[in-house]
Amino acid sequence: MKNPLRKLNFFYKMFFLKADSVICESAPHYLTAFFIWLYKNRIPRLYFPFDITLADFTIPEDFLSPLEISSQKYSFRNCDAIICKNGTSQLNFLPKDVDVSSKPAFDFPPYVLKKWNQKIKKNKKFNQNNISVIYAGAYVEKTNWQVSLKDQFEAIVSQKINCHFYPSPGTTISKEHIDYITHNGKLKKYFHYHETADPKKLAVELSKYDFGLHPSKVTKLSKTKGRYVGANKIASYLEAGIPILVLEQATIYSDLVKKHGIGIVVNDWPEVKNKLKNINYSK
């Protein structure tokens, strides 16, 4: 909202808002904290921090300013209830000075849209010599908590597994990283960089591949990242009717996969090829 009048009009409407409840969502956290303060004793405030993993303040804090950290803490402490995208158990990892034990917490994971669901191909032929995995999501070159995606992709491609990448809007991958993943082009036929897909057509596009990849490998810096990090792509893979390939350390999703038999769980990416040997893909 670059227009000052529109900003004033927005805040005017928000100030006099009348509602049964209000959802205050994620970044910028200082703005969320402002509305949680504004509606105190007026409207029940549900705080939706999106990825609660941002509350893992044990990670070096160069990606969150002191203002953002203090604002997020304020929102946790002063909201009336919390909406969790990736399981309420991650609230146990909040800092000791952020006690939310008395607050109601609700789990609202990424959902599968029925109208986009693709039929599961029970008789799909699975070729051990031509395995294809798909990753649909953002490409982040470096974080303080995640093993670089280029390293995770390289671990897949090195096994001569076809790795397809559909980037989120605005996401790009450098030639330098592509060269690294493909061993300077020696394995380029195994890495496929696609254009961003139309969300309405994404499920159809993803249904072409064998597995949906959730590259969640983390460093030792994090208690919660990787275990609980949000993954809208999981819902996209389920809409596409393809099984999920996930690491054991991605607790919330590896447990989901094992409980419902909707994919394969591995301890680390280099073991994928062996793990997929002799599997019954139709099951």
What pLDDT is recorded for position 268? 93
- Greater pLDDT, 72 or 62: 72
What pLDDT is recorded for position 32? 92
Residues 187-223 have pLDDT tens digits of: 999 999 998 888 888 999 999 999 999 988 877 656 6
What pLDDT is recorded for position 184? 94
Mean pLDDT calculated for residue range 62-84: 86
Whether 162 contacts 170, CB under 8 Å: no
The rounded percent of the chain whose pLDDT value lies above 90 is 41
Examine the pLDDT at 157 and tell me if it is beyond 80. Answer: yes
* Three-state DSSP state, 270: helix
| Strands across the sheet containing 45-48 | 22-25, 45-48, 81-84, 105-107
Quote the crossing angle between the two packed helices 199-206 and 232-240, to the nearest 10°: 60
What pLDDT is recorded for position 16? 86
Whether 58 contacts 222, CB under 8 Å: yes
Residues 219-237 have pLDDT tens digits of: 765 666 667 766 788 889 9
Examine the pLDDT at 88 and tell me if it is beyond 90. Answer: no
Cα distance between residue 209 and residue 216, in whole Å: 19
What pLDDT is recorded for position 60? 52
What pLDDT is recorded for position 93? 80
Q: Is the pTM of this model over 0.85?
A: no
